[in-house]
Structure formats: C-alpha cells, structure tokens
Amino acid sequence: MNRGGPTTSPEQRRRSCSATDLVAVRAALRCATSAQWDSVALRQMWRQVHESWLVAKASEIGVVAGSGFAVVATGSLGRRELLPHSDLDLLLVHDGMPADAVRRTAELLWYPLWDANVRLDHSVRTIPQALRVADSDILAALAMLDARHIAGDELLSTRLIAGVRQQWRHRIGIRYGELVDVTHARWQRSGEIAGSAEPDLKCGRGGLRDVQLLDALTAAQGPGRLAVRRPKDRGTSLRGACRTVLDVRTELHRACGRGHDLLSAQYVEEISGALGLGDRYDLAASLFDAAHTISQRVDAELRAAANVWSRRGMSALRV
C-alpha cells in the first residue's frame, strides 16, 4: 500500500472527467419527460450517471484498489434511489492515511462536484471514526446501514459496512427505545401521508423513511433476513407500496424542478398523468393504500421488536 496517498498514471490522467461532463448529462436528464424516461428509468439513469462519474473520477485521482481510500455512498445513492434533486451522500473512507494525502484526495473528489452544483453531503473518516459516529448518533447509524461501495479499495468498504451492521445488531437492545423515540418525533413533525392534503413523501408516516426504518429493523436481526425495500412492481405488497411512494416522489422532483418532498396540489394532475394513474383522485387513492400498507408493517415490526429488545417506547406508537 502506498502510504503517501493516491498516485495517478498518465493513462488515468488522460481519462480526466470534469465537472462540465457531469453538468451536461445532469441537465439533459432533468429535461427528459416521463414519456421518454418513466420514473424507474429516470432513477436508474440518474444513479448510473453519478456512479460512473464517481468511479472515473476516483480512478483519475488514484482512489483504486490498494490505495487506502474508498468512496462509499449512503443515503439515496446507497439505496439506489437517487432522484433528480436528491443530495449526494458520500463518505471518503481511508485506512489511516497521512493528513496531507487525505486532504488532497478529498479536495480532488469534492471540488468538481461542487463546481457541478451537486448538493453534496460529504464526510471523510477512518473506519473507527465512522463507527464512533454511528454509535453516538442514531440518525447517522441509520444512514450508514445503507452504505454501499462505489469506488476505490473495496476491502476497506467491506470492513466499514460489516462493522456498521455488526455494531447495529449488538447495540439494538440498548438503542431500541431511542429508535422509537426519533421515529415518533418524526411522525409528529411530518404527520401521516394517508389522508393528508399535502403529504410528506419522505418523512411522513407511511413514507420512505419508514421503509428505511423497516430495513434497519431487519438488519438488526442479522444477515439471514432480507431487506424489504428494493421496489420492483407496483401492487398491494410492501415492495409495491414502496415503489408507489418512490415513483410519486420521483415525479414530484421532475414536476417542480426541486428536491421537494411535500406533494402540493399544483403538481398532482401532472404527476397522475406521468404515472398513468388517471386523475388526482386515483393518485390520492394509490398513495393512501401504499402509505397504509407501510404504516401497518411498521406498527407490526416495532411491536415484534419490542418483545425482543425492549418494551420502552410502545406508547410512542399511538400518534
């Protein structure tokens, strides 16, 4: 391992990827209509564009296998749910590299993203530092449960992801009450999606944060159980419910041209048409059913978890 930091070859430097490249592709995708790219296709393309750019940039600056650096995605990119106006949540992990090398590598990675006007939520940590953050901040822990390797030293990413999940499993008995408390606080702030005139698709009860909560509860039970999220087809299942809410949020981003999560009435007809759901009433019914499905599963999973880990916080389920 080169402890002095990443190095680049002449060939890698010739494959330079600039902020201009990313700006152009992002602009083109944001102009695409639902007739050109439906919700699923738009998410896939948006994710692939950013992942490809990150992989190329990492290679260009020497963040490769054995470099002591890895680029790890959390948040929506980690979940493969990146939307046209989502933040890009990235963690640059290093294996105790020299401070100058860490600073230089971070600057080479972050500055082109800022130049491309990407909304970036970034951090630079060693694995022990990342684990300490996850242990002290439950929201950070939930975010890191979605961590996924993007580029660089994959063994480093694997150690981080395994460490975060092992720590979560070992600590859930102590942290379960806190998990219920922060969930209840979020529900109080954002309300319920089902029946709301202006639902919060991300943080509202029955929304995408609740699907993330279900994945966290699954992760706490070990690797033998599969996560519930990964939407494929619409329908009455939990997976279909997640897909419905995610599709509506995707089209909301497209319709308003911003990273909004509140479904305002002015966009409902456009979103209904884009999703082939008929009119606003059909969209409302579909969203109600999806949110209700997610909420019911959350209630059931939290009660089951309380029987295993703690009875603290059960009253928080009554909102």
Which candidate, 49, 121, 43, places its Cα nearest to that of 87? 121
Domain boundary among 169, 198, 231: 169
Whichever domain contains 220, its CATH number is 1.20.120
Q: For residue 252, what are its two tokens?
A: 């909301």
| CA pair distance 60, 72, nearest whole angstrom | 17
Report the largest interatomic distance among the alpha carbons of the chain, rounded to a whole angstrom: 62
Residue with tokens 């997976």: 239
| CA pair distance 128, 167, nearest whole angstrom | 11
The DSSP symbol for 316 reads: G
Q: pLDDT, tens digit, for every residue of 299-314?
A: 999 999 988 875 544 4
Residue 107 sits in the same domain as residue 184: no
Residue 84 sits in the same domain as residue 179: no
pLDDT at 66 over 90: yes
Domain boundary among 169, 191, 220: 169
Q: 10 Å Cβ neighbour count for 100?
A: 10
Mean model confidence pLDDT for the chain: 89
When mean pLDDT is compared across 21-25, 140-144, 160-164, the lowest value belongs to 21-25
Residue 252 sits in the same domain as residue 240: yes
pLDDT at 141 over 90: yes
Which candidate, 87, 77, 72, 43, places its Cα nearest to that of 261? 87
pLDDT at 12 over 60: no
Task: With respect to residue 6, please indicate whether it lies within any of the assigned structural domains.
Answer: no
Task: With respect to residue 11, please indicate whether it lies within any of the assigned structural domains.
Answer: no
pTM of the model: 0.87
Residue 115 sits in the same domain as residue 236: no
Residue 29 sits in the same domain as residue 107: yes
pLDDT at 58 over 60: yes
Q: pLDDT, tens digit, for every residue of 152-209?
A: 999 999 999 999 999 999 999 999 999 999 999 999 999 999 988 999 999 999 999 9
The pLDDT of residue 223: 61
What confidence tier does 21 reach under pLDDT thresholds 50, 70, 90? confident
Q: 10 Å Cβ neighbour count for 299?
A: 14
Residue 298 belongs to domain spanning? 173-317
The pLDDT of residue 14: 36
Residue 218 sits in the same domain as residue 73: no
Task: With respect to residue 2, please indicate whether it lies within any of the assigned structural domains.
Answer: no
Residue 20 sits in the same domain as residue 164: yes
What confidence tier does 225 reach under pLDDT thresholds 50, 70, 90? low
The residue type of 180 is V
Q: pLDDT, tens digit, for every residue of 96-124?
A: 999 999 999 999 999 999 999 999 999 99
The residue type of 68 is G
The pLDDT of residue 310: 58
What confidence tier does 17 reach under pLDDT thresholds 50, 70, 90? confident
Phi, psi of 15 (to 5 degrees): -90, 30
Task: With respect to residue 4, please indicate whether it lies within any of the assigned structural domains.
Answer: no
Domain boundary among 169, 202, 221: 169
Task: With respect to residue 146, please indicate whether it lies within any of the assigned structural domains.
Answer: yes
Residue 222 sits in the same domain as residue 241: yes
Residue 177 sits in the same domain as residue 83: no
| CA pair distance 245, 267, nearest whole angstrom | 15
Chain center to CA of 252 = 17
Residue 193 contacts by C-beta under 8 Å, 6 or more apart in sequence? 199, 200, 201, 204, 205, 206, 207, 245, 287, 288, 290, 291
Q: For residue 262, what are its two tokens?
A: 């509140």
Identify whether the C-beta of residue 72 lies closer than 8 Å to the C-beta of residue 150.
yes
Q: Based on the structure, what is the number of domains in the chain?
A: 2
Task: With respect to residue 276, please indicate whether it lies within any of the assigned structural domains.
Answer: yes
Residue 200 sits in the same domain as residue 214: yes
Write the CA distances from 118 to 89, 113, 252, 278, integer angstroms: 10, 5, 19, 34
Residue 192 sits in the same domain as residue 262: yes
What is the spatial order of strands in the sheet that 69-73 belongs to? 120-125, 88-94, 69-73, 148-152
Which candidate, 89, 100, 101, places its Cα nearest to that of 50? 89
The pLDDT of residue 226: 44
Task: With respect to residue 9, please indicate whether it lies within any of the assigned structural domains.
Answer: no
Range ranked top by mean pLDDT from 9-23, 103-117, 234-248:
103-117
Instruction: Identify the helix (H) or strand (E) that includes residue 306.
Output: helix 280-308
Residue 37 sits in the same domain as residue 107: yes
3-state secondary structure of 261: coil
Rounded mean pLDDT, 292-299: 96
The DSSP annotation for 46-64 comes to HHHHHHHHHHHHHHHTT--
Helix 39-60 and helix 99-115: axis angle, to 10°?
140
